[in-house]
Chains A and B, each alone.
Chain A
Amino acid sequence: MIALKINKALCGAKGEMNLEVDLKIKQGEFLAISGESGAGKSTLLRILAGLEKADGEVIVNGQNWKDVPVQQRQIGFVFQDFGLFENMSVEQNLLFVSNNKELANELLNITQLSELKRRKPNTLSGGQKQRVALARAFMNYPKILLLDEPLSALNHEMRLKLQNDILALHQRFGCTTLMISHDASDIYRMASHIIVMELGKVIKEGTAKEVFSTNTSHLNGEVLEVQKDKIVVLIGQQLIELKVSKDKQFNIGERVEIQANF
């Protein structure tokens, strides 16, 4: 059980704001954190990891982590830019965490990196680097796994595969997992619970179904193109052309709500 009650002044994109989060996460839970950039999501993970200080408390399994240094927190962290050790090969990146060759080989197999294990990070693609970072995060048998947009650099196929891998690893290691993601499919498939943050506060909380499908007959989209009597709207990853009455004005980039009548 993780009980977070933190407060920290942040300088966000929209000026100063307070990160105020009061959250309880059950042991073994898979929590997704969503919200616009600058909402304080990454800072929340960094505070939990011990990389940043904040007022309040972080209690993990009854222990106050105020004075527990980052080195002793037994955490796995996948950074958005991976943070791989550039001077080491893929395999050495894993073995640096712990010299457990058996575990390293297993993780390299799961993430399909065995062939690349002698390569240096700067010769890998974004998706490959992401898998190295993920494999490395499990090398210390983490109690808590923190993932900062772990699937953002992957194509659709690799994304589905890695969703499964993360889920399998999450179950095998039994670690409580917090994942920042904007992707509804990632969240729906993987997370048991989701919180949505805005300007440092949690504004919504629940299961993916509860949070995402507030009204099934409404779709939210973004206007991409405006023509005389029609507009092109992006909904999810799909483009839809819609006829509109001439007296209505639309702007490119405008968010629109579309109601379907069957």
Chain B
Amino acid sequence: MHELLNTIYTLDLAPFALSFKLATITTLILFVVALPLAWQLSQSPSKVKPIIESLVSLPLVLPPSVLGFYLLVAFSSFDLAFTFKGLVVASCFYSLPFMVQPLQGGFESLNKNMIESSYIAGKNKWVTLFRVALPNIKPALMTALIITFAHTVGEFGVVLMIGGSIPDETRVASIAIYDLMNNLEYGKAHIYSAIMLLISFAVLLSVYIFNHKQKYFKGVRA
């Protein structure tokens, strides 16, 4: 017991801080990039749409090592390998579908006539996006933001290939657990893993509670 408390007191929380910093920055960048992309995809009847959709969804099916390999090749000329910036760029590619898909799905489920009413009222695509479309897809927006955040926190393969394990630079929580395992420090690995498990569960729970409330209150609010 004493040993456990001691381990908790001396626990290095830097990998968690780094994970959250990476996830926050990635989520913000992806929101800015994915919002117009998802909006255009949802409104476009274009023939190239399936090609763009496939490209966006690639990270869902590609082995992280394939993405990591190509990114490393690309990074060699930009000095980004094994840096925090490199991790941010890699995470943006890797988590792109988690931001785009819920937003696009939300936009596509909107009443078409509501969007058209905004055009008829003389508003352009962007005013319509920010004042009509986005405020009406709050559950999808919430899902996109939180799942992107959580997915970035949970990244492992790509981060390992791109960033390695440099303390305070690229050593995020998932990598730290892997290192602890390799060093046979099971006590710490247990605690790190438990923290990750709890945080992931809390994040998902908050999304589902929020979306449940949105649906429920939409029906009964007077």
Contact = CB atoms under 8 A, between A and B. Distances in A.
A160 B22 CA distance: 63
The 8 closest A-B pairs by CB, nearest first: A83-B113, A87-B135, A83-B117, A97-B121, A79-B113, A83-B114, A70-B119, A71-B122
Chain B contact residues: helix, strand, loop or mixed: helix
A122 interface: yes
A77 interface: yes
Nearest to A74: B122
Interface in B193-222: 218-219, 221-222
Contacts of A79: 113, 116-117
Contacts of B14: none
Contacts of A122: 218-219, 221
Interface residues of B, number: 21
Contacts of A120: 221
B117 A84 contact: yes
B73 to A, nearest CB: 44
Interface string B124-145: 1000000110011000000000
Interface of B: 111-114, 116-124, 131-132, 135-136, 218-219, 221-222
Residue of A71, A75, A136 with most partner-chain B CB within 10 A: A71
B111 A81 contact: yes
B120 A123 contact: no
A214 to B, nearest CB: 35
Contacts of A96: 118, 121, 123, 131-132
A51 interface: yes
B120 A49 contact: yes
A85 B122 contact: no
B113 A81 contact: yes
A100 B34 CA distance: 35
A86 B113 contact: no
A140 interface: yes
A82 B116 CA distance: 11
23 contacts: A51-B116, A70-B120, A71-B120, A71-B122, A71-B123, A71-B124, A73-B120, A75-B120, A76-B120, A77-B116, A81-B113, A83-B114, A84-B114, A85-B132, A85-B136, A86-B136, A96-B118, A96-B121, A122-B219, A136-B117, A139-B121, A140-B121, A140-B122
B119 A86 contact: no
Interface in A234-248: none
A83 B218 contact: no
Nearest to A92: B131
A77 B123 CA distance: 14
A72 B132 CA distance: 19
Given A96-B131, A123-B221, A83 B116 contact: yes
